[in-house]
Every structure is written in C-alpha cells, then in structure tokens.
Amino acid sequence: MPDIPGAKPVPLSQLTRAEDRLTFIYLEHSVVHRDANAITAHDARGTVHIPAATLGALLLGPGTTVSQQAMVLLAESGSTAVWVGEHGVRYYAHGRSLARSSRLLEAQAALVSDRQSRLHVARRMYAMRFPDDDTTGLSMQQLRGKEGARVRRIYRENANRTGIEWTRRDYDSADFDSGTVVNQALSAANTSLYGVVHAAIVALGCAPGLGFVHTGHVRSFVFDIADLYKADIAIPIAFDIATAQPMDVGAETRRAVRDYLRRHAFLERCVSDVKDLLRGEDEEPVEYGPDALDGPDVVMLWDYDDGEVEGGVSYPEVPDL
C-alpha cells in the first residue's frame, strides 16, 4: 500500500487528559508553525516551542500568521484554535472544538429540547445570580422580573458609587456614538464579554445557538452565559470608564475588560460553569483519555432500548420477533 501523504496523526497514547492540559495560550504578532509535535511561535524575540498534546486551546490574536501544518497538528492533538481580538475580548472564528466527545453537545441539545429540563437549567442560571434565594418554584416570568429588579438596583448602586448620572440603558447597535458615555462603555464591555464566552463555548464543542433563557439567535447560549457575569464585570467597569471620560471609550473599555478577565482567570471559571450547567447537579465529571470509552475517537451506535452500544463491532443478526 502506498504511503498516505501528510504527517502521521499523533498516537492517542501520547495525548494528555483534558484536565491535565494547559487551559489556553494566547499569541499575538507572531508566526505560528510546527516543529515535529510542537507548535512554534516566532517573533522578533525568538522562537517558543509549545507541546501540542498538552495544549487545550490556542487563541490567535492580532498579527498572527498560522501555517497549515500547525493547524493539522492542533487538530490531531485534540486541541483547538480560536481567532480572537486583542487578548481574547472578541471572537471571530474557530477551528475544530477542543472536545473529542459529543457528550456536552448532546446534553445541551437534550436539555434545551425538553420543556421541564430547559426550565430547570434556566432556573439554575438565575440561581447563580441569587445565591441566597430559592428560585426552584419560580416561573420564567417571575425570574425575569426578579432579574430585572436586580439589574436596575446594580445600575443605581454603580451610579451612586461613581457619581455618574444614570437614567436607563439606552443604545443603538447601529450607531455606537449616539449613546451616552456610560451606555457606550456598557455596550463595549458587553461585547468584549460575549467574545470571551463565545470562544469558551465553541472550544468545549457546545452549540452557541442553543440557549435556555435566550432563544432565536445564533448566539443565544453565549448571551445566557455572559449574563451570569455582567453584574460583576461589565457594569462596574463601564461606570469606572465613564467616570474617567477617556477619548476613546470603546478601546479603553475593551482593555479594562481584558485586564480584568486575565487577572481573575475568567476562562477557567466560564468553562467550569458551562460544564456544571450542562452536566447536571448530581452527575459526576467525565474522564477523558486514551483509555476512556467515551473519550477521544470513540464512536458509539445509538440504540433505542439501551441508549448506545459500542461501534466497530460486527453484530450477529437478530431474528424477527
């Protein structure tokens, strides 16, 4: 048999378990290539080698050029590449997901497709914002009202803290400059948060469009997850920026959000929250590795009675019943 062109895939035995990998590495203004089983990043200061099998996600920022062979190695190593803005504050595109298993995606689809399970996840999302209150018996209308009152209170608190005059959230998505300074900063902060959350969601192999609270938009799940953090991140930062009255509100806000997310290891928190919401309260974390049944490169067959059975097996003929 003639040799198959291209580099050979990395053996599964050489891959590192997901929980033992580097969460992500961010690169900018560099040329990304491949040297054996390592990703190389080259700039004016020299070349850095990054073992691909230990990498979760490679975030490619402004000024990066990546080779085809680098992308091949990332794919074969169970890693992913996400093209982002400066320090990840915007999401642009992604390669294959970090996940080799479809468990999270299937869990998301199953949960959002059933009325009761969707309500359960939505309640858990709201419960994360009201840790001292019991939300288990509240309807969606009650939860929306409770959340609306909370957000209005947080706006008032930050306005009083900074001395900024506040009336209401008012903006035109097609005309950024038409809003007040604080509304401009809020729009920029929210957009930055959406970008980082979007990058985390696609890296996990989840569907950005399958939301539980939001619906009908290709980023519904992104909005769901980002809303968990706006009160702690986007709103305070926006009012602080408005107080400083910078020349470029959008740029200063994006940098402030970027720096906050880096300091507080936000990506790790976001990934953990997404997994917990989709995995359920009582389900144990899934172990992924070369020997795990539902780990990398294992394909199962759907079965009506048993859920799933092992693939790659020549099953005997079953007589008609």
Binding residue ranges for Mn(2+)? 147, 214, 227
Angle, CA of 227, 229 and 230, to the nearest 5°: 70
pLDDT in tens, 44-67: 899 999 887 777 778 898 999 999
For residue 17, the model assigns a pLDDT of: 45
Q: Which CATH superfamily is domain 103-279 in?
A: CRISPR-associated endonuclease Cas1, C-terminal domain (1.20.120.920)
For residue 1, the model assigns a pLDDT of: 40
Binding residue ranges? 147, 214, 227
Reduced to 3 states (helix: H, G, I; strand: E, B; else coil), residue 239 is helix
Exposure class string for 8-20: b at 16+ Cβ within 10 A, else e: eebeeeebbebee
First to last CA, the chain: 45
At a CB cut-off of 8 Å and minimum separation 6, what does 10 contact?
37, 52, 53, 73, 76, 77
Q: What count of residues does the chain have? A: 321
pLDDT in tens, 144-184: 898 889 999 999 999 999 999 888 887 776 777 777 899 89
pLDDT in tens, 226-274: 999 999 999 999 999 999 988 888 889 988 998 898 899 888 899 899 9
Report domain 15-84's class.
alpha beta
Q: Residue 192 corresponds to which amino acid?
A: S
DSSP H or E segment with residue 55: strand 55-60
The residues spanned by each domain of the chain are: 15-84, 103-279
pLDDT in tens, 267-293: 889 989 999 999 865 445 444 333 333
C-alpha 126/C-alpha 146 separation (Å) is 9
What percentage of the chain reaches a pLDDT higher than 90? 35
